[in-house]
Chain A
Amino acid sequence: MANPFVQKSWSPYIVGGLIGVLSWFAFATADKPIGITTAFEHTAALTEKAAVPGIEQKNEYFAARQAEGNSPKIGWEWMLVVGVFFGALLSAGLSGDRTQLWVPPLWANRFGPSKAKRLTAAFLSAALMMFGARLAQGCTSGHGISGTLQLAVSSWMFISVAFGVAIATALLMYGRQGAEHV
């Protein structure tokens, strides 16, 4: 049997099961749910604190997070995000699945090969996605996996609405014709 580490893909059931076990590990060792976007919010808040003197007094964000015991910091969540990058780099490197793709083929097929168009859309849509995640206090990881597995009402609500809206958006963007190219 081939070395699984050099394979390009594993069964989604194996991967999902291992992510489930990883969530046990996160709860057992750090008493934390796996989530990504807190680190982005903290990075932004630390940057704004450094760049704008006195922002802590003017913007109630800082007092509110302090009251929650969640002041911006370089912590477990921050290192988790750094780790995700290196873990994916390692996996793709071992299997030869590295790419230098600028415009995904499915996108190019519908919206053309323009790099500028794709990158502008990626920047703005990713900003909107992160803004939404911080409004809701979680993303696909924090709500979609960690929150739903804790049976949180907020998380089941979030992921149902988010995926429903995403399906509608994708169908509007690509239509029936685009869907046939997947």
Chain B
Amino acid sequence: MFESPDKLVLGFLTGVIFGFLLQKGRVAKFEVIVGQFLLRDWTVVKTMGTAVVVGAIGVYALVAADAASLHIKPALLGGVLIGAVCFGVGMAIFGYCPGTSVAGCGEGRRDAMVGVAGMLAGAAVFVAVYPVLQPLINGLGDWGKVTLPEITQTSPWLWIGGLVLIGVGSFIAERLSGHGPQGRRGSLTTGAHA
């Protein structure tokens, strides 16, 4: 039932840094998440986009050096697509995602705390009805645990290079458009810009 103590300590340490960064990045705030979906505050996309570009370079380098392996989730079309629709509706109403709601609890947000209880309830329902969900999850086909380079038979570095170009291009475009590195801020975003 318990993993080894070193795994538990490493998990906790990784989590503390992750939670610290989510809070400093202001993505544990309802206004910032909903502001992104209303296309008014681009903090979420900037944060995730940078994480993906930087992360991809290092993780693919680790894999190339045989120091890590990829952990790809299967492209079970039913599960991924229906799951994404439920997730999108839920996240827009809730105003936090799973990780940022836990971080929002650390910030003291009461609605995030109630939401964490709701997430446990949602997980409990999922486990309880797992058998009847199988036709839904598997019914639309399974492409397997595949990556974009694999299905296109190209080098991953081609894709990572493309992501870097998009990232750097967006950054420069934003600077030139005069919105500044923090993006537009409105009246109801409460965090002071230090």
Contact call A153/B24, Cβ cutoff below 8 A: no
The CA of A134 and the CA of B31, in the complex, are separated in Å by: 25
Q: Interface size bucket, B side?
A: 35 or more
**With A45-B127, A136-B87, A139-B99 given, is the CB distance from A86 to B120 under 8 Å?**
no
The CA of A68 and the CA of B34, in the complex, are separated in Å by: 36
| Chain A stretch 1-44: residues in CB contact (< 8 A) with chain B | 2, 7-13, 15-34, 36-37, 40-41, 43-44
Set of chain A residues within 8 Å of B95, measured between Cβ atoms: 104, 107, 122
Set of chain B residues within 8 Å of A73, measured between Cβ atoms: 1-3
Set of chain B residues within 8 Å of A151, measured between Cβ atoms: 56, 147-149, 156, 159-160
A83: contacting residue among B14, B73, B86, CB under 8 A:
B14
Distance (whole angstroms) from the CB of B188 to the closest CB of chain A: 5
- Look across to chain B and name the residue whose beta carbon is closest to the beta carbon of A165: B88
Set of chain A residues within 8 Å of B30, measured between Cβ atoms: 104, 106-107
Distance (whole angstroms) from the CB of A133 to the closest CB of chain B: 6
Contact call B110/A153, Cβ cutoff below 8 A: no
Would you call the interface of chain A mostly helix, strand, loop, or mixed?
Answer: helix
Does B141 make an interface contact (CB < 8 A)?
Answer: no
Contact call A129/B97, Cβ cutoff below 8 A: yes
B48: contacting residue among A10, A16, A45, CB under 8 A:
A16
The CA of A31 and the CA of B11, in the complex, are separated in Å by: 11
B89: contacting residue among A7, A23, A41, A128, CB under 8 A:
A128
Contact call A154/B80, Cβ cutoff below 8 A: yes
Interface string of A78-90 (1 = CB under 8 A from B): 1111111111111
The CA of A62 and the CA of B161, in the complex, are separated in Å by: 41
Contact call B88/A24, Cβ cutoff below 8 A: no
Contact call B31/A104, Cβ cutoff below 8 A: yes
The CA of A132 and the CA of B120, in the complex, are separated in Å by: 13
Contact call B125/A127, Cβ cutoff below 8 A: yes
B-to-A contact residues, CB < 8 Å: 1-3, 7-28, 30-31, 34-35, 37-41, 43, 46-59, 62, 67-77, 79-112, 114-128, 130-131, 133-134, 136-137, 143, 145-149, 151, 156, 159-160, 171, 181-183, 186-194
A-to-B contact residues, CB < 8 Å: 2, 7-13, 15-34, 36-37, 40-41, 43-48, 59-61, 64, 73-92, 95, 97-107, 109, 118-119, 121-171, 173-174, 178-179, 181-182
